[in-house]
Structure 1
Amino acid sequence: MAVTDAAIDKIKQMILSGELTPGSRLPKEADLAERLGLSRNSLREAVRALALINVLDVRQGDGTYVTSLEPRLLLDAMSFVVDFHQDDTVLQFFQVRRILEPAATAMAATSMTEPEIDELRGILSALPEDPSVEQLVANDLRFHQRIAEGSGNAVLCSLLESLSGPTTRARIWRGLTQENALEKTREQHAAICEAIASRQPEVARAWATVHIAGVEEWLRNALA
């Protein structure tokens, strides 16, 4: 089990056991990390992950609280973590994406106009140097959406857009738990963009395949 997942599991057990109740405040970071046998960094990542799915509420200058939900609703929110690791449906969405998106990327390399390519580069440059996971995923979604639009095929673009929602949570989870996820994403996005800009459809197709297959392989390992 990944370190972040283990940290999440320990906090989850505190909530499910009633040790932490809805609306209660988590102990100070240093105290909780020591108590759970975690590094402060691992605890911090776990808190970020649980805040993303609305289990925890981080209040700047005040502390971190368990969201004031009914126990049933709280368990529903927590079930995302379980579902993610037990349901391989999301993997099937990535498999379909790996089939369709390289084709759209190759088409974009021949059909995107220069202003559209400049816009694609602008999306990449808009990502901050040290982005949050939310910023990274939002930028990733916009980048791939722009390429799908640039394919010039409205049906293909619509199909790829429909795959976006079911894979967003997995992308967030990857950003939180995979080492070097930011660096890999930046490098591969830049390579895809340059292949499109230099009008090399097969190179663009290859980079898109590498990019999506890498995420799919990470997901397969996470599910295993």
Structure 2
Amino acid sequence: MAVTDAAIEKIKAMIVSGALRPGDRLPKEGELAAGLGLSRNSLREAVRALSLLGILDVRQGDGTYVTGLDPQLLLRTLGFVVDFHREEAVPEFLAVRRILEPAATALAAARITDRQLDELSALLDALGPNPSVAELVACDLEFHRGIALSSGNSVLGALLDGLPGPAAVARVWRGPAGADAIGRTLREHRAILAALRDRDAEAARSWATVHLASVERRLRATP
């Protein structure tokens, strides 16, 4: 194991064991390095790596702290990785989303607030009947993100937030069936919203499954 990797594992162990808790400030560099049996250089590299992952927060002139370890923060790197995926991997990301999102939509049916429902409705209303691809992509991502966050499961919401990115979604509506795809997407969004308003978890799950299956099918048919 590389020296930096070993240093990362030692800091990770302190956090997992509870020796360092969310919001705690790390001991001074020299003290921590000596306590962990590390060189200052390897400790600095480990801290730098963990800060990039959202686990540590380096505050210039103040010190280094353990973050709140919020799932949305820790899983933010997933969306970063998705942005670098190979084109042939896009259907695989969508397949994962098709497994997770219907469950999140069913959960949201029981937990979404009237205010959140009104916000989703206003989002669709603002789009209009003939949106551009760019407008529809932005609305689609925001619509699904709002539902995922309304599920009440922060881990599930964070996972779905990065699957897939705007470029992959845009491909669905730029293909040969783009015009029909736009109209169908708008209708499916309305059906999902209606099921959520009815607090019908199974209908919400079913419409989310239908919607994502059709998105995946159109994507596979797009050159």
Which TM-score band applies after superposition, normalised by the shorter structure?
A: 0.5 to 0.7
Task: Indicate the residue corresponding to 1:174 in structure 2.
Answer: 172
Give the secondary-structure state (helix, strand or coil) at the position aligned to 2:127.
Answer: coil
Larger deviation, residues 88-97 vs 170-179? 170-179
Cα distance in structure 1, aligned partners of 2:212 and 2:132: 21
Report Cα offsets for 1:119-152 as digits up to 9, x if no partner. 1111111103321110011011110000001101
User: 1:222 Cα deviation (Å)?
Assistant: 2.6
Task: Indicate the residue corresponding to 1:206 in structure 2.
Answer: 206
The count of aligned residue pairs is 138
Task: Indicate the residue corresponding to 1:143 in structure 2.
Answer: 143
Cα distance in structure 2, aligned partners of 1:102 and 1:204: 7
User: 1:114 Cα deviation (Å)?
Assistant: 1.0
Q: After the TM superposition, which residues 38-49 of structure 1 pair with which residues of structure 2 at under 5 Å, given as runs?
A: none
User: 1:216 Cα deviation (Å)?
Assistant: 0.6
Task: Indicate the residue corresponding to 1:115 in structure 2.
Answer: 115
User: 1:212 Cα deviation (Å)?
Assistant: 0.4
User: 1:190 Cα deviation (Å)?
Assistant: 0.2
Cα distance in structure 2, aligned partners of 1:217 and 1:174: 9
Query: In 2, are the aligned partners of 1:141 and 1:164 still within 8 Å (CA)?
Result: no
User: 1:169 Cα deviation (Å)?
Assistant: 1.6
Cα distance in structure 1, aligned partners of 2:87 and 2:190: 32
| Structure index of larger Rg | 2
Query: In 1, are the aligned partners of 2:106 and 2:201 still within 8 Å (CA)?
Result: yes
Give the secondary-structure state (helix, strand or coil) at the position aligned to 1:130.
Answer: coil
Cα distance in structure 1, aligned partners of 2:151 and 2:124: 18
Task: Indicate the residue corresponding to 1:94 in structure 2.
Answer: 94
Q: Which runs of 5+ in 1 are unaligned?
A: 1-83
Query: In 2, are the aligned partners of 1:124 and 1:139 still within 8 Å (CA)?
Result: yes
TM-score, scaled to structure 2: 0.59
Query: In 1, are the aligned partners of 2:171 and 2:219 still within 8 Å (CA)?
Result: no
Report Cα offsets for 1:53-111 as digits up to 9, x if no partner. xxxxxxxxxxxxxxxxxxxxxxxxxxxxxxx9x84200100000000000000000000
Q: After the TM superposition, which residues 46-61 of structure 1 pair with which residues of structure 2 at under 5 Å, given as runs?
A: none
Report Cα offsets for 1:172-191 as digits up to 9, x if no partner. 12212224111101100000
Note if 1:222 corresponds to 2:222.
yes
Cα RMSD of the aligned pairs, angstroms, is: 1.8
